Structure 1
Amino acid sequence: MCRIAGIIDKHQDLTLSSAKVKEMCAIMAHGGPDGEGFYENANDNVVFGHRRLALIDLSITGHQPMIHDDKYVISFNGEIYNYLILKKKLQDLGFQFRTKSDTEVILIGFAYWGTAVFDKLSGMFAFALYDKTTNSTYLVRDQSGIKPLYYSAIDQRLIFASEVKAFKKLLKEENPNWKIYFLAFGHIPEPYTTLKDVLMLPKAQYLKWDHQTGTHELHCFHKESHDILIHKVEAAQEKVKNTIEDAVARHLIADEPIGVFLSGGIDSGLLTLLADEVQNKNGQQLHTISINFKDEQFSEKAYQDCILKEVNSKHYEYTLDESTFAEHFPSALAAMDQPTADGINSWFINYYAKLNGLKAFLSGIGADELFGGYPSFDRMGIVSFLSSLPHFMLKMALKINSVTLKRTYYLHYKNTIGKYLFLRGFFTPDEISKLLDIPVSKIDGVLKNLSIANMPNALGNGEQASWLETNLYMQNQLLKDTDFMSMQHGIEIRVPFLDKELLGLINSIAEPVKYKNTKKKGLLIDSFINLLPRKIWDRPKMGFTFPFQHWLKDDQYFQQQLAKCNNQRAKELIANFKKGDLHWSKAMAIYQVFNTIDD
């Protein structure tokens, strides 16, 4: 797990490109504290940069950018969990390896299979690969979009990096619509960023850059199969159990200790139990970490203790109080790479993880999206009904004096974006209009025409909810927030529920088996009913959140920043927040729209 950057510009002096790439890597040094490396090629004006967080092959041989046969060069961010299997296949074909790294497997795999190797990789990855034999460079991002990779391809120049911050001294023009995106979604949806000429590479795609023409093409290297193969509950449970067990084992491969974030919920509890079994077999001890609060309303200690009784874990437990939160809150805000209405909680859990010298943790991201853990799975019926209403009726929703009901207005877009914003929309168009002083018609025009993937046809209600939560909420908020907040501390987060084999399995299970259950995430729970304590799954759902509503109202730094805002509607909303009539996440959004996030 690392940070990468690069510039390919045949119109710019190589020395200048090199200096810029070094500056980009310095900005992202927090994500690669174990070393740095650079590669230059004057023939094609290529400069690659790399900041290293070493977890596999800790030796100098794992150094990057890595070169194979003086033909292929890679700067790689991520982990390949099936690299040993691919390595064995390549060795059987006669290839020799000089390192123990997964990075070299990508290089030699590309030398043999070409671009077909991209879909053979199981893991989380974002990398740049320079191919001298074809005078091309490839930017590649994993099938689930776990790792970020941003790029700018204008004026026959390609720039790429793991964070948007790395571009800010090179490309300063703002995306004129980012505030609309952010206020509507609570995040900035891919492929957009706050910068006009910087985009996120779509997941499961690669960008091929032609060095001679200075042009590029985007190609998809992985397409999901939705062939239904499993119709029986018992068969689904057995497959889910075996596949998740295998996924956890794969995600524990490392040359450094791996921990688990134990919140006390179903997902983290299950990962802890399974990881403990694997580590015991390997003769290693599991590490776990938890954060709690004095306020009983937010504490999950009783559930954490329930899991800890079942495992042999070296456990780290912290109680976060308001004064500690206030001390570090400005640093957490400054760590944001892109505006988000969430993510602060992730900064703190990774802060405490770093105190104990650990570099990598398992996270339960993906379980709610795959197995039906969100309220949206119960609401798709009403979404379908309301979506069938005439435009004029749906547009009248803006006149309703209820924020929740006002979101019905979004359904008049009659597309995937409208459905998502009805379910999870942040501010409604009339509020955005007042905050940004622009007409609702312009907001509608921007949001209706976003270049995002459309939800496939013929999905059932549960599958629609899963698609929206996975491809919009998880993709744009949870994964991005987790990545930049964890890497701010030099921590790698691994997500077994997004394992390639597990995703393929879930797509092959009939919808009634996946979601028609009397309890949330029923298939997941029943698959491990003999392992998960009843106390863990037979309880109200509680998200991993902090007492923000109370703390931020009294936080001096936050209040000082909000006080700088001159927008009249924003001032009214801030006053509502102080009275307890506005959710803290909306106050956070106002702060980010009207204040510049520190570099």
Structure 2
Amino acid sequence: MCGIAGYHGFGEDEALLKVMNDCIEHRGPDGEGYFTEGNVGLAHRRLSIIDVAHGQEPMISADGDTVLVYNGEVYNYLELRAELEGLGRAFRTQSDTEVVLQSYEQWGTEAFDRFNGMFGLAILDKKKNVTVLARDHFGIKPVYWANAGTAEAPKIIFASEIKPLLQSGKIERKPNERILYRYLQYRIHDDSAETFFDGVFKLQPGEMMAIDNATGTYSISAFTRLREELEELSKVNRPYTPEVTEEYRTRFTEAIRMRLKSEVPLGSALSGGLDSSAVVVTINKLMQEKAEATDSLGAKQNTFSAVFPNSINDEEHYADAAIAKCSGNIQAHKILPTPDGFAADLDDFVRTMEEPIISSGPYAQYCVMKEASKHVTVLLDGQGADEMMAGYIPYYFAYLRQLKAKGDYKTLLKEATSSLDIFYRLGRFRLQGKLTAKKTVAMSSLLNKSFTGKYKGENFSNIPDNMKLRLIDDLFHKSLPSLLRYEDKNTMRFSLEGRVPFLDKEVVKFLFSLSDEAIIKGGWNKRILRDATRGLLPEKISNRRNKIGFTTPEAEWFKLMKERLYKIFMSNSFAERPYWNREAVLTAFEEYLNDKNDADTMIFWRLLNVELWFREFIDNNETPADVKENKSDYEPNPGKELDITVPAEAGGETFRRYPLQTGVFKRETDLDPEVLSYVKRFFDGLDSADEATRKAVTSTPWYLLVSEKIVAITQGRSFPVWEIKVSPAARVLSKFVKRTPAGIGLGSPWSMQIAINEVGLPLIVKAAAASVVGKLQGKSGVFYDVVGHNINAIDGATPYSLGSSANSVKLAPKDPEAVARRISALVRESVPAEYAANFAGTSIMDANDLGVVAMGHDTDLTKDTIQAIFKDNPQGQGAQATPMSLVFKQN
């Protein structure tokens, strides 16, 4: 198992290959290799599994005319090798890589359809002057590509992941908005060659790309008829008999045995479901029989399970039952994913997946793979069984509609009657949802109309009344491709090879040649698998009706993680995306947390995932131009000035303002010593300041100006939005307030609610009515004249702010004049005497880009003068982290 990367059209540029290959070191930490010739470059990362001592890549043929980089395993390589040797070919290594290379030399691209396994490969064929890319029959291993040239003069870059394409610098990072829409609206992805990145594509299962090395032109075509074969075989309808069950058991067991070939430790993923349990107990049987290739397992089979004690998603008791059935031949490893761990891993998880995914469920798999990588290098699991044996409830309905369309009412009645318990459980959940009369939330209500309007012609549908055709469609397009993406990303992130024995193409073809009864019979799906593993599996697994699989208790976690999710939904970047209405999202999320709507967590996950995906892959994450990190105490904020001359009516004098960059103030911060520490830092560092600064602060009156925000925070008058219970009145009243930049004022339900909490709803309503009358008379500010100017100082949650301020609503500080006097007294006691003598007091300021108010002070200045000093808001906003300034009067 490995990673590949390469290009056509950039000359012999090994440096480019190295940049691309470094992005996928995790796919192959055991070695790397490069090849360039003419306009073609090939790169490889190796995870050594078979013929560890040899098989390095790029692999070059004996005559030097064929060069291969290859990611995957071809499990029938020994049979192919024997056939090739019979044709007179000799081999230098024991690797399957050389079998792939010589198979291509012998049969050309027709060789690909002979392979039974998983692969993503690139071949430089000098004789035919072409470069060929190919992806296995089911798309287990990925091949991504992009045209970094033009339609007339293509330049192709390709890799096992998308990150190398982005890191190459040859393509622009842009979102594919059509795919984004389909994902957000319909919850679908990976159903076509397009990706979430504009201009980045993937080969579809069973496809190959041929690039003309002379011109760079390329074509994409299928190298296999597997899908068509399955459709043809589905009409055979071989009767389902005990002999058929035995044949399936033999074929399935052989598919597993072939996937045990390894020179490194091998184990199994065990969810506790039917599929993974069937793999585990079959391996156990092979070990007991001392079958060929089982030495890779060691003395005991290592299994890896995600468990969620006391959660509705927990399957531990099923996994334990499968383990117990193996009579002590299992070394079980149980992994406990947690919401705290998920929060810590979230950025890496998004980076690992590369594109948005359906839910947070694959994080459980991520955790399993992380732990498994400490013990084994190869891991088998049960992926793919659901899409070939009707593992999901919608397949039942497709089957029943099929029977109805055929007029087979006898079988229809029998199957419907046998499935009543399933339909009852499904109907009960739906009925409960209707009886609760909760507000219905659809994704479309959260998306911006300008965005959805662009794609109103998009739609999504499934094959409704032909079960096998529905399964085939899901195998190649609708369902399995996304699951295989998760499998590949999660395993390779931790340098693991994942093997999926259910996706043995010969076993799949055999299954689809059987009658529908092999898939659904007597109300039981996966009937042939259940029957084939009778006696091997405990009955509680063989007779399971419910399905969970590797997933997370997302609904439970989201409520525990609400603070983290609020911070993302309230961020500036989330607010500025053109795809959704942030206010609608926040309202829906708040209602969901309070059990007031029927929203599914997957709605919020999709929004969250897209936001985090943008941050990771699309956004320019450079520090904004108006933020200067590690700013000196003696320089202004970017775009601001140190000096200001106030108007004549405010005294006409000139003042120099030095904004002080600080740490983040929190509720538990002790305000006074923290403020004093920055004041002392300013004076302690003067010796290193320039002469102009030292002259400006000598023998002149000076003042300390402190933001009301940090005072309110440390007084406990800052409230996280998730702690504020918003009333219907607050929600309605806030809609009539003019929205100000970034949530300043009462234009949000949360800030309106704490205003109501502070002065009471009657006064707010009275002030609102007076404001309406005042506006008719041409007056402004009437609302705050009635309600009080402390309410004017309320700040909404502002996305640009640091720390908890980004997600909190703040009341005006209590008794700002007393705070100013207290701080002034401490300053006089603490700063050097020469400066203490000229200290003229403190002012608590409410300043932003909309206006400034001196809320309380003990200076010798008038409020008009103080406000004039700060009219250009020299402390800046948010990320500058400059909530206080020292101000010196200039002579």
Query: For residue 562 of structure 1, what is the aligned residue in structure 2?
Result: 569
Query: For residue 199 of structure 1, what is the aligned residue in structure 2?
Result: 201
Cα distance, 1:460 vs structure 2: 6.0
Work out the CA distance in 1 between the residues paired with 2:353 and 2:564: 17
Cα distance, 1:326 vs structure 2: 3.3
Q: 1:573 aligns with which of 588, 591, 594?
A: 588
* AA partner of residue 556 (structure 2): H
Work out the CA distance in 2 between the residues paired with 1:386 and 1:160: 47
Work out the CA distance in 2 between the residues paired with 1:81 and 1:385: 38
* AA partner of residue 304 (structure 1): A
Say whether the 8 Å CA contact 1:430–1:440 is kept in structure 2. Answer: no
Work out the CA distance in 1 between the residues paired with 2:192 and 2:128: 30
Query: For residue 267 of structure 2, what is the aligned residue in structure 1?
Result: 259
The structure, 1 or 2, with the larger RCO (C-alpha pairs under 8 Å, 6+ apart) is: 1
Unaligned runs of 5+ in 2: 406-425, 428-439, 576-580, 618-891
1:243 is the counterpart of 2:251: yes
> Secondary structure of 1:438's partner?
helix
Cα distance, 1:365 vs structure 2: 0.9
Instruction: State which drifts further: 117-126 or 567-576.
Output: 567-576
Query: For residue 63 of structure 1, what is the aligned residue in structure 2?
Result: 56
Say whether the 8 Å CA contact 2:269–2:276 is kept in structure 1. Answer: yes
1:2 is the counterpart of 2:14: no
Alpha-carbon deviations, 1:124-148, whole Å to 9, x = none?
0010011011100110111111111
Alpha-carbon deviations, 1:234-279, whole Å to 9, x = none?
2331221111011000111111121111111111111001112223
Work out the CA distance in 2 between the residues paired with 1:386 and 1:19: 62
Instruction: State which drifts further: 580-589 or 216-225.
Output: 580-589
1:181 is the counterpart of 2:182: yes
* AA partner of residue 221 (structure 2): H
1:22 is the counterpart of 2:18: yes
Q: 1:437 aligns with which of 431, 449, 469?
A: 449
Query: For residue 288 of structure 1, what is the aligned residue in structure 2?
Result: 303
1:380 is the counterpart of 2:398: yes
Cα distance, 1:29 vs structure 2: 1.5
Alpha-carbon deviations, 1:89-141, whole Å to 9, x = none?
11122211111111110111111111111111110001001101110011011
Matches within 5 A, 1:136-535: 136-153=130-147, 154-155=149-150, 156-168=154-166, 169-172=169-172, 173-183=174-184, 184-224=186-226, 225=229, 226-227=232-233, 228=236, 230-280=238-288, 281=290, 282-283=294-295, 284=298, 285-311=300-326, 312-342=329-359, 343-356=362-375, 358-380=376-398, 431-432=443-444, 434-438=446-450, 442-447=454-459, 461-535=466-540
Work out the CA distance in 2 between the residues paired with 1:385 and 1:576: 42
CA 1:324 to 1:433, structure 2 compared with 1: closer, same or farther past 3 Å? closer
CA 1:112 to 1:222, structure 2 compared with 1: closer, same or farther past 3 Å? same
* AA partner of residue 308 (structure 1): I
Cα distance, 1:371 vs structure 2: 1.3
Say whether the 8 Å CA contact 1:377–1:461 is kept in structure 2. Answer: no
Say whether the 8 Å CA contact 1:33–1:52 is kept in structure 2. Answer: yes
Alpha-carbon deviations, 1:340-385, whole Å to 9, x = none?
12322221111111233x1111111111111121101122268789
> Secondary structure of 1:355's partner?
coil
1:552 is the counterpart of 2:546: no
Work out the CA distance in 2 between the residues paired with 1:99 and 1:577: 60
Query: For residue 411 of structure 1, what is the aligned residue in structure 2?
Result: none
Work out the CA distance in 2 between the residues paired with 1:472 and 1:197: 20
**TM-align CA RMSD:** 2.7
Large movers: runs of 4+ above 4 Å: 381-387
Say whether the 8 Å CA contact 2:379–2:497 is kept in structure 1. Answer: yes
Cα distance, 1:13 vs structure 2: 4.3
Work out the CA distance in 2 between the residues paired with 1:325 and 1:219: 40
Query: For residue 395 of structure 1, what is the aligned residue in structure 2?
Result: none
Say whether the 8 Å CA contact 1:322–1:551 is kept in structure 2. Answer: yes
Say whether the 8 Å CA contact 1:429–1:440 is kept in structure 2. Answer: no
Work out the CA distance in 2 between the residues paired with 1:529 and 1:385: 28
Cα distance, 1:209 vs structure 2: 0.7
Cα distance, 1:163 vs structure 2: 1.2
Instruction: State which drifts further: 172-181 or 253-262.
Output: 172-181
Work out the CA distance in 1 between the residues paired with 2:31 and 2:43: 11
Q: 1:101 aligns with which of 83, 95, 120?
A: 95
Alpha-carbon deviations, 1:210-241, whole Å to 9, x = none?
11121111221211322316223323312211
CA 1:440 to 1:144, structure 2 compared with 1: closer, same or farther past 3 Å? same
Please give the TM-score of this superposition, normalised by the length of structure 1. Answer: 0.85
* AA partner of residue 249 (structure 2): K
- How many pairs were matched up? 546
Say whether the 8 Å CA contact 2:179–2:189 is kept in structure 1. Answer: no
Instruction: State which drifts further: 168-177 or 73-82.
Output: 168-177
Query: For residue 592 of structure 1, what is the aligned residue in structure 2?
Result: 609
CA 1:115 to 1:592, structure 2 compared with 1: closer, same or farther past 3 Å? same
Say whether the 8 Å CA contact 2:205–2:476 is kept in structure 1. Answer: no
Matches within 5 A, 1:76-115: 76-115=70-109
* AA partner of residue 350 (structure 1): M
Cα distance, 1:492 vs structure 2: 1.4
> Secondary structure of 1:36's partner?
strand
Work out the CA distance in 2 between the residues paired with 1:141 and 1:319: 35
Compare CA radii of gyration and give the structure with the larger one.
2
Work out the CA distance in 1 between the residues paired with 2:615 and 2:485: 16
Please give the TM-score of this superposition, normalised by the length of structure 2. Answer: 0.58
Say whether the 8 Å CA contact 2:325–2:537 is kept in structure 1. Answer: no
Unaligned runs of 5+ in 1: 388-403, 406-427
Say whether the 8 Å CA contact 1:188–1:340 is kept in structure 2. Answer: no
* AA partner of residue 492 (structure 2): M
Work out the CA distance in 2 between the residues paired with 1:64 and 1:577: 53
> Secondary structure of 1:330's partner?
helix
CA 1:430 to 1:290, structure 2 compared with 1: closer, same or farther past 3 Å? closer
Query: For residue 53 of structure 1, what is the aligned residue in structure 2?
Result: 47
Query: For residue 421 of structure 1, what is the aligned residue in structure 2?
Result: none
Cα distance, 1:440 vs structure 2: 5.2
* AA partner of residue 66 (structure 1): M
Say whether the 8 Å CA contact 2:443–2:603 is kept in structure 1. Answer: no
> Secondary structure of 2:588's partner?
helix
Query: For residue 409 of structure 1, what is the aligned residue in structure 2?
Result: none
CA 1:126 to 1:429, structure 2 compared with 1: closer, same or farther past 3 Å? farther
Work out the CA distance in 2 between the residues paired with 1:445 and 1:293: 42
* AA partner of residue 177 (structure 1): R
* AA partner of residue 155 (structure 2): R
Work out the CA distance in 1 between the residues paired with 2:468 and 2:538: 28
Work out the CA distance in 2 between the residues paired with 1:503 and 1:121: 14
